[in-house]
Amino acid sequence: MARFVRRMPADFDPTARGWRVGELSGVEVRVDPSLLLIAALVTFSLAAGVLPREVPRTNGVFYWLFGAIAALIFILSILWHEMAHALMAIRYRIPVKRIVLHLFGGVAFIARDPERPAHEFWIAILGPLSSLALAFTFGALGQLPDLVGAVCRWLALINLTLAIFNLLPGFPLDGGRVLRAVLWHFGGSYRKATRQASRVGQAMAGLFVIFAALLFFNGFLFNALWFVLIAGFLYSTASLSYRMSLGGLPSAAPLFRVLRHNVPLIDARLPLALLVWRYLDHAPDQAFPVFQNGMLVGMITAEQVERVPRLEWGRVRVGEVMLPLNAFPILFLTEPLESAKAQLDAYNVDHAPVFAGDQFVGMVNRRDIVYRT
């Protein structure tokens, strides 16, 4: 019997699920159908329980109307939280593929992990901080009368809960990423910090299961099921992160293990417009060595180009905006990765040219070292 294998399209993207609802600051926003369940549950909970208790003797239609409005604002609060992550990532020149809102809240799909622990820390912490800001804002508005005040008080509580929950040190929650950033900063190894934070995430999932069991035996069946689902999600993602962090290179491995070969040499007289068209459009996160009369004279990245108004790109030459030789280290093929990273840190740059003797052989960037050690 012949076997037929179903192949995924070459452009298949598993993060592009749900309905596309638009863009914010260039970031695509999608809504997973499972979010409708959360919206319905929030509306029902408020209309049938919270609002009648807070503001009795009001027309029932208003309970449902304000419950639906609160559910919509709650979803927008989740989007606000994820946009905080996304905007901080964009500030650090890390592309954001999209934001997807789903059953468990939302996630900002960032194209890659940060290359520095400080960047990881601020990208992770800004989400909970943004939720805390909303909690304080809605808390102040909670002094308003009747249903408006009751909805604002509920939104204050739910945003505070969202901030506290995300600060739990269970990778890949925001608190787990903050923990990884701290471990990475003090330990110096991205992979080791990921393994440690992932183990804490697995332990946190176990605690959620224990808490779910306590809820179950006390009659809170729905809440128990909810915590079991969260525990399963947390454990599976933490375990995947742990497995992906295994292996890697020792810090004493030679630099040629992560070298980028066949890097084009840029003429210092090349207009910026041609540089962008030929190279940066295809590799916006890379750096290129700049040569003049066969000698290395500098290095150019998208950051230097973007400081020049776009209308001037046809007139301005690479040599006018490039990083000069004294702004970055010159690395050598056989030096240890640890030494190379230390030199990148000393110059506060993410890229450097690599030589074998007096011969240019390629480029290395911080990400190549960080992700592999």
Q: In Å, what is the CA distance from 193 to each residue of 117, 184, 238, 260?
A: 10, 5, 13, 25
Compute the distance between CA of residue 93 and CA of residue 151 in angstroms, rounded to an integer.
38
Which two tokens mark 309? Answer: 């108004």
DSSP state of 312: G
SS3 content of the chain, % helix, strand, coil (to 5): 55, 15, 30
Residue 185 labeled ligand binder:
no
Q: Which residues belong to the active site?
A: 82
Long-range contacts of 23-29 (CB under 8 A, 24+ apart): 24/79, 24/83, 24/99, 25/83, 25/86, 25/87, 25/90, 26/90, 27/83, 27/86, 27/90, 27/96, 27/98, 27/99, 27/108, 28/97, 28/98, 28/99, 29/79, 29/98, 29/99, 29/101
CA-based end-to-end distance of the chain: 47
Binding residues for Zn(2+): 81, 85, 174
Binding site residue list: 81, 85, 174
